[in-house]
Amino acid sequence: MDLIVHSSTFLLPQPQFPADNGPSLLYALVLLNQPLPKFTPLLWNNARLRVCADGGANRLFDELPQLFPDEQALAIRKRYKPDVIKGDMDSIRAEVLEFYTDLGTKTIDASHDQDTTDLHKCVAYIRDLPNLENQNLCVLVAGALGGRFDHEVGNINVLCFFSTIRIILLSDDCLIQLLPSSHHHEIHIQSSVEGPHCGLIPIGIPSKSTTTTGLQWDLTDTEMRFGGLISTSNIVKGEIVTVRSDSDLLWTISIKKA
Ligand SMILES: Nc1ncnc2c1ncn2[C@@H]1O[C@H](COP(=O)(O)OP(=O)(O)OP(=O)(O)O)[C@@H](O)[C@H]1O
Ligand SMILES: Cc1ncc(C[n+]2csc(CCO)c2C)c(N)n1
């Protein structure tokens, strides 16, 4: 079975990027309608494509200037111009839509589809871009956690729906990604910015057998299911965590305050 190497180098300050011997990835950033993480400018600079999910554009417009209090808000808004705004467009304010449209941002009104979330619509757009086809794509999602639980679960469902795309849900406090059972996984821990608290959670179906190394409470051919054992409040011990499982798992790890 093939191995996937994971490494949160996108959280490292630019001079060290890319740090270890992890894969060379092409990052796309999606901003959601939630308070933006403090490290959003870092993600922005590391991304090749920047997309706002509907009301995520309000967050960019309102909150990015607050991260640069010594600079003029207009200058910051012009510097942080999204490539695309996509969604059902019921949350973006008219002035924000007009501002970014005037700057040349592409807008896609997908209000006809009331069965998928704005994040789903944005990831589908990124997946279907022709010139990203052969690239090693990784979608970073800012503002995905905290707030309404139905939205959080909807965001996790996007990980499962697009299970062959690397997608990482981020907040100021933690990240979540899917570890598909189709591969073995090696997670290179960036201990300056993440850890030590972590979790491994079966998603969709129980896991009959999960085996890990590098954790304080390693699993050895262990069963995990809701209503039984799941691995929360675990702690990263080594620089590398390995995971192999017979079913898909969520990996979550805490993000350190700057
Ligand atoms: N409280 C939240 N917690 C987590 N994610 C959120 C939250 N609010 C919004 N999002 C994410 O941001 C995206 C865009 O948000 P927006 O408010 O524009 O969506 P919406 O379709 O108007 O939501 P709804 O109609 O359900 O309130 C959502 O698809 C979701 O992924
Ligand atoms: C069974 C079922 N439950 C909820 C919705 C509502 N819904 C799900 S995603 C979405 C778009 C949000 O931007 C909306 C309105 C539905 N369609 N089907």
Report pLDDT digits (tens) over 120-164: 999 999 999 997 766 799 999 999 999 899 999 999 999 999 999
CB distance 257 to ligand 1 below 6 Å: no
Q: What is the pLDDT of residue 1?
A: 83
Q: What is the pTM of this model?
A: 0.95
Q: Is 196 exposed, middle or buried, given 0-12, 13-18 or 19+ CB atoms closer than 10 A?
A: middle
Q: Which of the listed residues 109, 114, 116, 123 should we mutate to test ligand 2's pocket, taking the one with most ligand atoms within 8 A of CB? A: 114
- Give me ligand 2 centre to Cα 207, in Å: 29
**Cis omega before residue 130 (within 30°)?**
no
Q: What is the pLDDT of residue 207?
A: 98
Q: Which residue has the CA at smallest separation from atom 14 of ligand 2?
A: 114
> Residues of the chain whose pLDDT is less than 50?
none
Q: What is the pLDDT of residue 14?
A: 62
Q: Which residue has the CA at smallest separation from atom 3 of ligand 2?
A: 115
Tell me if residue 99 falls in helix, strand or coil: helix
Cα–Cα dist 227/97, whole Å: 45
Cα–Cα dist 35/41, whole Å: 13
User: ipTM value of the model?
Assistant: 0.91
CB distance 118 to ligand 2 below 6 Å: yes
